[in-house]
């Protein structure tokens, strides 16, 4: 990937230009938390997150939801469609945890009967503020029919992932999705990995995700590897 033009570098990924309509996404070993205040490089993390992301994206595509994933390249990278990222983070919650508990003063680990879909504006300088649908529409961030599609896809993805993980005795607590547009069509983009989801062992409620790093409660590679093992890849 050395000769390819670097289009964008984020906290955990690099995006290289492959052609006019394709990019190569490289998963870095870097890990950050609290909007970059805590950061480290953990050897092997990029490879695990790339494996998990391509596994889930293939599964989601097979269920009829378009994703940016095209093909695997190597341990740390895959080819993806060059979508235009919609500047929203879509957060889906099945159990109370994280900022939801903090914001509303609620105990962690309570099952939410009807999954909650929240939106944040993707803006590091503003600290990714939470935003409601009406504000998204009035700021003309996204058209209404696109926003409705994001929500429809997000809930469908929630069913696909939750039921798959349930069979592995893992609870899908909450996670973040990003979407992009290509030819006026909505595609699931970015990643789905232990960096962007909360996964709990159903029996022990132990975290198999980035909370291990955020809360200093164990070895990140051990937990991410255990998640890999549990989903059989």
Taking CB under 6 A as the binding criterion, the range among 20-28, 51-59, 90-98, 108-116 that sits at the site for ligand C5P is 90-98
Query: Measured from the CB of residue 173, what is the shortest distance to ligand C5P in angstroms?
Result: 7
Query: Measured from the CB of residue 198, what is the shortest distance to ligand C5P in angstroms?
Result: 4
Contact with ligand C5P (CB under 6 A) among 196, 207, 213, 224: 196
Terminal CA-CA length for the chain: 25
Taking CB under 6 A as the binding criterion, the range among 4-12, 38-46, 78-86, 193-201 that sits at the site for ligand C5P is 193-201
Among 99, 102, 87, smallest CA distance to 33 is for 99
Asked if 91 interacts with ligand C5P (CB under 6 A), we say yes
Asked if 210 interacts with ligand C5P (CB under 6 A), we say yes
Asked if 192 interacts with ligand C5P (CB under 6 A), we say no
Asked if 31 interacts with ligand C5P (CB under 6 A), we say no
Q: Is the dihedral of CA 58, 62, 67, 72 positive or negative?
A: positive
Taking CB under 6 A as the binding criterion, the range among 18-26, 95-103, 107-115, 158-166 that sits at the site for ligand C5P is 95-103
Can you read off the two tokens belonging to residue 59?
């599964």
d(CA 231, CA 60): 15
Asked if 119 interacts with ligand C5P (CB under 6 A), we say no
d(CA 2, CA 182): 26
Q: How many residues bind ligand C5P (CB under 6 A)?
A: 14
Can you read off the two tokens belonging to residue 223?
């937990």
- DSSP string computed for 111-179: EEEEEEEEEEE--GGGT--EE-HHHHHHTTSS-HHHHHHHHHHHHHHHHHHHHHHHHTTEEEEEEEEEE
Choice between 22 and 128, CB closer to ligand C5P? 128
Query: Measured from the CB of residue 19, what is the shortest distance to ligand C5P in angstroms?
Result: 28
> Left (φ > 0), alpha (ψ -120 to 50) or beta: where does 61 sit?
alpha
Query: Measured from the CB of residue 214, what is the shortest distance to ligand C5P in angstroms?
Result: 9
d(CA 102, CA 105): 5
Asked if 115 interacts with ligand C5P (CB under 6 A), we say no
Q: Which residues bind ligand C5P (CB under 6 A)?
A: 89, 91, 97-100, 128, 174-176, 196-198, 210
């Amino acid at each position: 990937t050395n000769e390819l033009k670097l289009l964008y570098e984020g906290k955990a990924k690099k995006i290289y230009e492959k052609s006019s309509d394709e990019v190569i996404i490289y998963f870095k070993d870097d890990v950050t938390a609290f909007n970059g205040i805590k950061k480290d490089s953990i050897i092997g993390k990029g490879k695990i997150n790339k494996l998990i992301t391509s596994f889930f994206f293939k599964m989601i595509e097979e269920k009829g939801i378009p994703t940016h994933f095209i093909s695997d390249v190597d341990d740390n990278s895959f080819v993806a469609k060059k979508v235009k990222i919609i500047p929203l983070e879509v957060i889906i919650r099945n159990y109370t945890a994280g900022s939801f508990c903090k914001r509303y003063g609620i105990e962690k680990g309570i099952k939410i009967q009807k999954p909650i879909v929240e939106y944040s504006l993707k803006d590091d300088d503003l600290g990714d503020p939470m935003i409601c649908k009406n504000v998204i529409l009035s700021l003309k961030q996204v058209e209404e029919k696109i926003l409705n599609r994001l929500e429809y896809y997000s809930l469908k993805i929630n069913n696909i992932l939750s039921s798959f993980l349930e069979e592995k005795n893992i609870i899908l607590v909450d996670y973040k999705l990003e979407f992009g547009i290509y030819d006026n069509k909505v595609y699931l983009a970015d990643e789905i990995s232990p960096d962007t989801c909360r996964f709990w062992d159903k029996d022990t409620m132990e975290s198999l995700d980035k909370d291990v790093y955020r809360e200093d409660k164990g070895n990140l590679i051990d937990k991410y590897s255990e998640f890999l093992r549990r989903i059989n890849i």
